[in-house]
Amino acid sequence: MSRLSVIIPTYRRPEFLRRCLESLAAQDASSDDFEIVVVDDGSPESTVAALREMAERLPMLRWFRLEKNSGPAAARNLAIAEARGPLLLLMDDDVVATKSLVSTHLRLQDETADPMLGILGLVEWAPDLTVTPFMRWVDRSGLQFAYGTWIREGPIMPAFSAFYACNLSLSRAIIVEAEGFDERFPYPAYEDMELAWRLTQRGFILRHRREALAYHARAIDLPAFRARMARVAESAVLLRAIQPDFPLDEGGPPAWSRAGAGRLVSRLIAQLARVTKNPGVLDRHFRAEIAAAYAEGTERGRSRLSERLAAAPGQGASSPREP
């Protein structure tokens, strides 16, 4: 039986998914040591075609499909329910594994054999990407990952503060015992940290190990990140309602908005940012745009809150279960 199951939710990104799966096919770990479990979250036929094609080439790949797009929490829950390995490696479909990723996670887990241990690997921009000034700013901001800010090798305290489900291994049993991801979260935003909050209360610990390296293969620009931060804000409203004791960081986009420039000044800064490479101007422009997106997402989250809470109390019918 496989020692580890790689868990991948996917939605409408067949080319990135192919690259992710090809990187897992090239692992230096034995194919007997791991399996790949992909759940298609209601994508169009192109994703299904890609999965059928890759399944013919990869005997360790099993895939499942949600007929209706339900979000990564629901997709991961189904994948975890179907997983056969006692260890899980949580990944995203736009992440590319280095050749030793699986074997490194297995070795690091074996070193302690602690059922409450999670290993957070490192995610860097893929070497073939052109890293733009905005992407470098995102790294410095800590709004996507905190690898370039406060995370250091070793224990992460508290564990839920950097529970990134894109390169993280842990025991399947502890997720099952915690009833999995909360499916009321519709986006890839806070659904992982909310689970980690519940795991931490059960004694979960997390360590960062840089040698477990993977690459983020998808570039991001300001409009795409603006849309992401609006979804993050919407999820933050839901998180406050579900877990009122969760210590949400209030020093991020909302604080930027309160300290930001007026509309006229913001427009002038935006115009200047288009023609200058001045770091100070770009920083003010990026912060103003993100703060505005966060405010929009907060309002949307408040209007949808009762709908989300009523839709699926608790973790939902597709929560992981014992095999």
Supply the pLDDT for residue 252: 60
- Flag whether the pTM goes above 0.75: yes
pLDDT exceeds cutoff 90 at 58? yes
Across all residues in the chain, what is the average pLDDT?
90
Supply the pLDDT for residue 134: 92
What is the CA angle 161-240-141, rounded to 5?
40
Is the dihedral angle over the CA atoms 24, 27, 29, 30 positive or is it negative?
Answer: positive
Total length of the chain? 323
Q: Which stretches does DSSP call E strand in 195-234?
A: 205-216
Domains and CATH numbers, the chain: 4-130+144-220 (3.90.550.10), 223-310 (no CATH)
One-letter amino acid at 292 equals A
pLDDT exceeds cutoff 50 at 193? yes
The 10s digit of each residue's pLDDT in 118-142 is 999 999 999 999 999 999 999 998 8
Mean pLDDT of 45-66: 95
Q: Is 215 exposed, middle or buried (0-12, 13-18, 19+ CB in 10 A)?
A: buried
pLDDT exceeds cutoff 80 at 217? yes
Supply the pLDDT for residue 225: 96
Helix ranges restricted to H, 261-278? 263-273
Supply the pLDDT for residue 320: 72
